[in-house]
Structure 1
Amino acid sequence: MPRHEALDLAIRLGRQAEAVCRHYLSSGHRAGNYWLVGDVHNTPGRSMFVRLSGPETGKGAAGKWTDACDGSHGDLLDIIREAQGLAAFKDVVAEARRFLALPHPEPAPQQGRGSHSFSAASGSQKAARRLFAMAQPIAGSLVETYLRGRSITSLTGTGALRFHPRCYYRPDGQARPEPRPAMIAAVTDLAGRQTGAHRTWLAPDGSGKAAIATPRRAMGELLGHGVRFGVADDVLAVGEGIETVLSPRQVLPRMPMLAALSAAHLAAVLFPPTLRRLYVLCDRDPAGDRARDSLLARAASLGIEAIALVPVAGDFNDDLRHRGAATLSAALKDVLHPDDRRRFLQG
């Protein structure tokens, strides 16, 4: 098949990227502008992400995918080949053409979860910015109660977090959203522009996360970005969850940190051009291990000194809650670069 015909087929599939994913990667689910799944063989999980919108060709094109576990990537033709177990390219083409000939209903528009007045789709950057703008500072709110319950008591430099008393949560398979209190986090790019938002729905008294199926959800453009605490220059610490990142920040309050929000997104974090040293705050699970290894290797290939910080328990918030700030400080002191020990470590 001529190259231009294959490209045309990939473009046509990209225009229906979500329908392709729902058909061939049915074990996954949509998260903002991405389809998340375990791998190209339709294994359940979140390490592979497929872009659902974007230009027709080139960088960021709709249908482009990356697996954070092994660095593999491709387009929707590759997904069809692997998901169907096809060896010959002519068979991939035939299957793609068969799929394109089928009727595919437009995906239902996602209604806004943060406001009655959302006119933008809930997965858009515009909706994410609007949701964050409608939220309020966390001082004295349920967010502060929730974080203090996780032993996160020093909240200096947490302007990326806000509180929304009635953020809509839509249970899977139900049309009617439920208003619930939530912690709203701004996802920003390297220039500080908000590209998305992350919601953590809370219990009515702030004692923990809400007792719902998916108390954490993200919206907007997440890939490469994150929730930032401080402005990174030559040193940055990155981790998965907001609580994971804020925990070592209790004893490293001046060190810039970033929460990537998932293992897959941790592996894809973009580095500031001035970065010289990267600390990776690990979670003790297989997905976290793979993301750590991928990120450390990518940083090293760019000449960035990369250091893994490994918790004793499952994550650094477990360490903070069960072992205390003094013990956490002592443990970090042993692995920090001497310059950073003097510069950032408190006490």
Structure 2
Amino acid sequence: MNARRSIADLSADLADRAESFCRQYFPEGRKQGNYWQVGDTSGAKGQSLAIRLQAQGGRKAGSWQDFATGEYGDLIDLLKERLGSVTLKETLREARSFLGEAPCPAALRDTRKAERPDASTNKRIARARKLFAAGKPVLGTLAATYLQGRGITRLGPALRYHPRVFLRQGEDDADPPQRAPALLAKITDNRGQVTGCARTYLDPSTGGLAAIESPKRILGQLHGHAIRFWSGSPRSDLIVGEGLENTLSIGTALPEFDLASCLTATHLGLFIPPPGIQRIWIARDNDEAGRNASIRLRNQLELIGIAFGDLVPNMGDFNDDLRAFGKDPLRRSLLKAMKAQGLEIEDG
């Protein structure tokens, strides 16, 4: 095939394979009729973003809209958002790779060198920084109540609380955004720069998640980055997990370890290790998405010479394990798995 074909041609070819495209780049989503629904352009779980799978009523396949933000476009636009801070040239290279026209997809390249975000990404990052800066420490707030209700005691400066964060109820909500309390989590790159803010909307009446579509949402840039929790002592090992609560559940049981939460299985597979790390423990969920993310991250770690080990919960995720079995049994289970994979540690 001619690699110099127009962007419109590439977009049309991606649209012809829209469902395969969605399953490849948005595995956290699900098919609903003629649409693939996912939380946002980062690939988080939810239903705010809808991608049309087949042409219908004069509307093209592959067109999409994020009803929470108003963003829309074709699959080239969506792929660029999904890959994060990459150039249009790299996006087109990834599109051609998906279509079988070229090797070396952008998502698998060595992304440790920081890329310059485009204008729209910079705007979202600025909004994320402003939101997180407006938050306050979580102790004594609804956010602390939420985390403690899930058995989590490992907190840190990466977490804040805000009582009135802008919120749209769902994709069909045409009303002006409301405000709701939310747990905020700071997403950073390996230099410590804030690239995004994760929002977990809460229900004041129950202390749990808000009863809305997609109560967990991401603002800014997540690709390759994470929410980080340091133990206070320099370590060459890092535990990298999926969801925030699952990662903090491990941290509750193993407070001596540094943590990085990637928020989704997709972004777990795209994590960029910080300098100085010699071994990464991949703490995935016990499902197919988690297994696939672990394989993808392991493949990248092998290429750059970083050792790794897998941590898999007994139940669906590590927060399930924490709540079902308690902190001490979870600690023993984790250390047993880590020792079996080469960790040398005395557990007093």
Question: 2-side partners of 1:329 and 1:228: how far apart?
Answer: 20
Cα 1:165–1:145 change in 2 (3 A) is same
After the TM superposition, which of the residue ranges 269-278 and 129-138 deviates more from structure 2?
269-278
1:52 Cα deviation from its structure 2 partner? 3.0
Matched, 1:318 2:330: no
Matched, 1:262 2:264: yes
Corresponding residue for residue 211 of structure 1: 211
Q: Deviations over 1:140-187 (max 9, x none)?
A: 0001000000001243xx110110101111121223212111101110
1:75 Cα deviation from its structure 2 partner? 3.9
Report if aligned partners of 1:187, 1:198 keep a CA contact under 8 Å in 2. yes
Cα 1:239–1:33 change in 2 (3 A) is closer
**What is the 5 A alignment of 1:83-122?**
none
Indicate the structure (1 or 2) with the bigger Cα radius of gyration.
Answer: 1
Corresponding residue for residue 187 of structure 2: 187
Cα 1:323–1:300 change in 2 (3 A) is same
Cα 1:50–1:275 change in 2 (3 A) is same
Match of 2:275 among 269, 273, 276: 273
**3-state DSSP of counterpart to 1:272:** coil
Corresponding residue for residue 332 of structure 2: 330
Report if aligned partners of 1:181, 1:203 keep a CA contact under 8 Å in 2. yes
Structure 1 residue runs of 4+, over 6 Å off?
Answer: 11-14, 33-38, 120-123
Match of 1:10 among 3, 7, 11: 7
Matched, 1:31 2:40: yes
Question: 2-side partners of 1:121 and 1:225: how far apart?
Answer: 14
Corresponding residue for residue 166 of structure 1: 164
1:64 Cα deviation from its structure 2 partner? 4.9
**3-state DSSP of counterpart to 2:161:** strand
Corresponding residue for residue 341 of structure 1: 345
Q: Deviations over 1:16-65 (max 9, x none)?
A: x9xxx89x966255735779899x997xxxxxx7223999xxx8123856
Corresponding residue for residue 237 of structure 1: 239
The amino acid that maps onto 2:194 is Q
Corresponding residue for residue 252 of structure 2: 250
Question: 2-side partners of 1:122 and 1:177: how far apart?
Answer: 22
Report if aligned partners of 1:32, 1:124 keep a CA contact under 8 Å in 2. no
The amino acid that maps onto 1:51 is K
The amino acid that maps onto 2:81 is L
Question: 2-side partners of 1:33 and 1:319: how far apart?
Answer: 27
TM-score, length-scaled by structure 2:
0.70
**3-state DSSP of counterpart to 2:162:** strand
Question: 2-side partners of 1:299 and 1:219: how far apart?
Answer: 27
The amino acid that maps onto 2:284 is C
Question: 1-side partners of 2:270 and 2:306: how far apart?
Answer: 15
How many aligned residue pairs are there? 282
Cα 1:146–1:160 change in 2 (3 A) is same
Question: 2-side partners of 1:37 and 1:306: how far apart?
Answer: 36
CA RMSD in angstroms comes to 3.8
**3-state DSSP of counterpart to 1:211:** coil
Cα 1:242–1:328 change in 2 (3 A) is same
**3-state DSSP of counterpart to 1:144:** helix
Question: 2-side partners of 1:220 and 1:239: how far apart?
Answer: 19
**What is the 5 A alignment of 1:44-193?**
50-52=79-81, 60-62=86-88, 64=90, 74-76=93-95, 124-155=124-155, 158-170=156-168, 171-175=170-174, 176-193=176-193
Q: Deviations over 1:174-225 (max 9, x none)?
A: 2321211110111000011000111110111352111111101101111000
Report if aligned partners of 1:132, 1:184 keep a CA contact under 8 Å in 2. yes
Question: 2-side partners of 1:230 and 1:206: how far apart?
Answer: 30
Corresponding residue for residue 291 of structure 1: 293
TM-score, length-scaled by structure 1:
0.70
1:335 Cα deviation from its structure 2 partner? 1.9
After the TM superposition, which of the residue ranges 174-183 and 193-202 deviates more from structure 2?
174-183
Question: 2-side partners of 1:194 and 1:275: how far apart?
Answer: 20
The amino acid that maps onto 2:7 is A
Report if aligned partners of 2:247, 2:261 keep a CA contact under 8 Å in 1. yes
The amino acid that maps onto 1:310 is V
**3-state DSSP of counterpart to 1:275:** coil
Q: Deviations over 1:83-120 (max 9, x none)?
A: xxxx9x9xxxxxxxxxxxxxxxxxxxxxxxxxxxxxx9
**3-state DSSP of counterpart to 2:164:** strand
The amino acid that maps onto 1:169 is L
Question: 1-side partners of 2:218 and 2:318: how far apart?
Answer: 22
Q: For structure 1, which runs of at least 5 residues remain unmatched after alignment?
A: 43-48, 66-72, 90-119
Corresponding residue for residue 70 of structure 2: none
